[in-house]
Amino acid sequence: MITIHSNFRVIALLPKVLLLEWEEQPSEKLLEFLLSYKAVIEKQIKVTRCVMGYQSLMVHLLEDIEKLDWWKQHLNKLLIKTKKQKQRKGKHWNIPVCYDLDHAPDLATLANAVQKSVEEVIALHTQKPYRIYFLGFLPGFLYLCGLDKQLHFPRKEKPLLEVPKGSIGIGGMQTGIYPNSSPGGWHLIGRTPLSLFDAKLQPPCFAAPGDWISFKSIDSKTFEIIDKQSNQGTYQIKPYD
Amino acid sequence: MIEILQHGIYTSIQDMGRFNHQCIGVPLSGALDQQAFRIGNQLLNNPDKAAALECTVKGPKIRFHQNTYIALTGADMRAQLNGRRVSSYTPIEVHENDELELGKAQNGCRTYLTIAGGIKTEKILGSRSQFKGLTREERISKKILLPIGHSDFKPVKGVHLRIPKTAFHKKTIEVYPGPEYPLLDKIQQKALAKNKFSISKLNNRMAYQLNQKLQHQLPQIWTAPVLPGTVQCTPDGSLIILMQDAQVTGGYPRLFQLTDEALHLLAQKQTDDEVQFSILPSVE
């Protein structure tokens, strides 16, 4: 059963764009509700697309809004349908990460700053699965929740101009994977040889909101092997339940 | 085929953009001045989504490897075909080995060069718009040959299209109030409506930053979906207007949302140009 979160405001952002925003703090309960509600909206309303945030849904309509009150009522009616919605079972993905210093330029600094050994940081980072809330920032960038409090650490004052593709970072309360090389202000504590995004694949990104990912520590030799397979397109990541 | 001989200041291949991949973090992309782009295709009887060249501030030099028709819309870059001036907003017949040279924008900022049949480069996730990490090149940065689609276009004599031209001199940017706008006090709201703002040097296909700041105490927000035309306010008060290549989510308070028309107009503004917000009532 889905718990209904009926306390949200509806804003007309543009004549064809509605923004639904919940005031409560992001949580797995809210995430699961948003995923179900989004599925109902996409089925029941003529939309071009529906985009998620931590506590919001942006709904792009085919027609003009005209009367906002009518939409508010209609969206409330759809809440009831959401209740009956079957919960989508999230998939689990294991992401191989090499925490060797070659691939982790900031690991020692971060460990020092949070008063842990490098091994303890790796243990804390790999011990629990993280929930995917939504995607944004870059194609294939996953917003993850579940970073252990002991690893929370403010972002760098000066962002790096070019973070290598596949880098695993920690910034504030978050951890994440850079799906492509880009500027970035997070502390880099490891690197995955996996491709998080490939426009030639269908779907381009294997992971989806509601899924879980776990980081698995690998040595640099395994990194090279998977990296090679990944580049040749022969490495296949498989989910488990 | 057309050959880019000189690429100008910032020239890229653009179409209507990618619509259905925001959920996996893919920006919309596409022509910044969608209106000028659309008219360019209409002049040549192209499909709406035919890809064109978007030229910024100073345009490229091009050689044609076939006979075809082209059109120039948006900013006037004093285009010359084999050394002779040609007009904007009308089909232009070109022949094999002709050379087209675009100069500096006399008004506005972006010119669209549409070609009968459209540019036929690789399509990634439903669009040919160039974007870093998606298409092989993020813009045109060297001499290159571009394939062109087939077209039977012939201009019909005596037919005049009624063309809505961009009012380049217009400063008024129409906006709807954004989600955090009501949290501002009356003085801040008044300042946003009354003051003139100028475009900073930080303006590109991702975002336009304004020179003037707004003192505020707005809370940080949880990362939420954003759109081209969303006006964000950073903790230090900088105002940032998102454009077509912007990220699909953002974590700064959202003060305004530009109308589509305002977004097209803004795309024709350059560094130091002035704009003034005109705040529309929310849709109710």
CATH of the domain at B194: 2.40.100.10
Query: How many distinct helices (H) and strands (E) make up chain B?
Result: 3, 20
H-only helix segments in chain B:
34-43, 186-194, 260-266
Report the pLDDT value the prediction gives residue A140, as an integer from 0 to 100.
96
Band of residue B165 on the pLDDT scale cut at 50, 70, 90: confident
**Domain count across chain B:** 2
Cβ–Cβ gap A138/B133 under 8 Å = yes
Q: What residues make up the domain containing B13?
A: 2-146
**pTM of the predicted protein model:** 0.94
pLDDT at B173 over 80: yes
Which H helix or E strand runs over B62?
Answer: strand B61-64
**What is the C-alpha separation between B112 and B114, in angstroms, rounded?**
6
B234 lies within 8 A of chain A by CB: no
**What is the C-alpha separation between B179 and A93, in angstroms, rounded?**
35
Distance from CA of B116 to the nearest CA of A (A): 28
Strand A160-163 versus strand B110-115 pairing type: unpaired
Same domain, B138 and B179: no
Tens-digit pLDDT profile for residues A110-146: 999 999 999 999 999 999 999 999 999 999 999 999 9
Same domain, B131 and B226: no
pLDDT at B256 over 70: yes
- The answer to whether residue B130 sits within a structural domain is yes
Report the pLDDT value the prediction gives residue B158, as an integer from 0 to 100.
65
Same domain, B182 and B134: no
| Of B146, B164, B198, the domain-final residue | B146
- The answer to whether residue B167 sits within a structural domain is no
Cβ–Cβ gap A14/B176 under 8 Å = yes
Cβ–Cβ gap A139/B25 under 8 Å = yes
In tens digits, chain A (241 residues) has pLDDT values of 788 999 999 999 999 999 999 999 999 999 999 999 999 999 999 999 999 999 999 999 999 999 999 999 999 999 998 988 777 789 999 999 999 999 999 999 999 999 999 999 999 999 999 999 999 999 999 999 999 999 999 988 888 889 999 999 999 899 999 999 988 889 999 999 999 999 988 899 999 999 999 999 999 999 999 999 998 888 888 888 6
Same domain, B230 and B271: yes
Q: Is there a contact between B265 and B235 (Cβ–Cβ < 8 Å)?
A: no
Cβ–Cβ gap B24/A203 under 8 Å = yes
Same domain, B184 and B273: yes
Of A21, A53, A179, Cβ closest to residue B249 = A53
Q: Which residues are paired to B64 by β-bridges?
A: B2
What secondary structure letter does DSSP report for A61?
E
Mean pLDDT of chain A: 94
Q: Is there a contact between A222 and A157 (Cβ–Cβ < 8 Å)?
A: no
- The answer to whether residue B165 sits within a structural domain is no
B179 lies within 8 A of chain A by CB: yes
pLDDT at B160 over 70: no
Same domain, B109 and B13: yes
Of B25, B133, B227, Cβ closest to residue A136 = B25
Cβ–Cβ gap B21/A204 under 8 Å = yes
- The answer to whether residue B152 sits within a structural domain is no
B160 or B226, greater pLDDT: B226
Cβ–Cβ gap A15/B283 under 8 Å = yes
ipTM of the complex: 0.92
- The answer to whether residue B86 sits within a structural domain is yes
**What is the C-alpha separation between B154 and B175, in angstroms, rounded?**
40
B202 lies within 8 A of chain A by CB: no
Cβ–Cβ gap B22/A49 under 8 Å = yes
- A9, A11, A197: which to substitute to probe chain B, counting the most B Cβ within 10 Å? A11
CA distance to B55, B86, B99, per residue, from B93 (Å): 20, 10, 12
Tens-digit pLDDT profile for residues B257-277: 999 999 999 999 999 999 999
| Chain B residues closer than 8 Å to A205 by CB | 24-25
Report the pLDDT value the prediction gives residue B161, as an integer from 0 to 100.
67
Same domain, B178 and B90: no
* Three-state secondary structure call for residue A213: strand
What secondary structure letter does DSSP report for B183?
G
pLDDT at B128 over 90: yes
Domains and CATH numbers, chain A: 8-84 (3.30.1360.40), 92-232 (2.40.100.10)
Q: Is there a contact between B27 and B248 (Cβ–Cβ < 8 Å)?
A: yes
Chains A–B, number of C-beta pairs less than 8 Å apart: 111
- The answer to whether residue B137 sits within a structural domain is yes
Report the pLDDT value the prediction gives residue A155, as an integer from 0 to 100.
87
Residue type present at position A184? G
Report the pLDDT value the prediction gives residue A86, as an integer from 0 to 100.
79
Same domain, B66 and B196: no
| Chain B residues closer than 8 Å to A182 by CB | 133
**What is the C-alpha separation between B22 and A139, in angstroms, rounded?**
8
The predicted model gives B240-255 an average pLDDT of: 95
Same domain, B25 and B67: yes
Report the pLDDT value the prediction gives residue B145, as an integer from 0 to 100.
96
Distance from CA of B242 to the nearest CA of A (A): 13
- The answer to whether residue B151 sits within a structural domain is no
- The answer to whether residue B185 sits within a structural domain is yes
Same domain, B128 and B253: no
Same domain, B131 and B244: no
B251 or B189, greater pLDDT: B189
A154 lies within 8 A of chain B by CB: no
| Chain B residues closer than 8 Å to A173 by CB | none
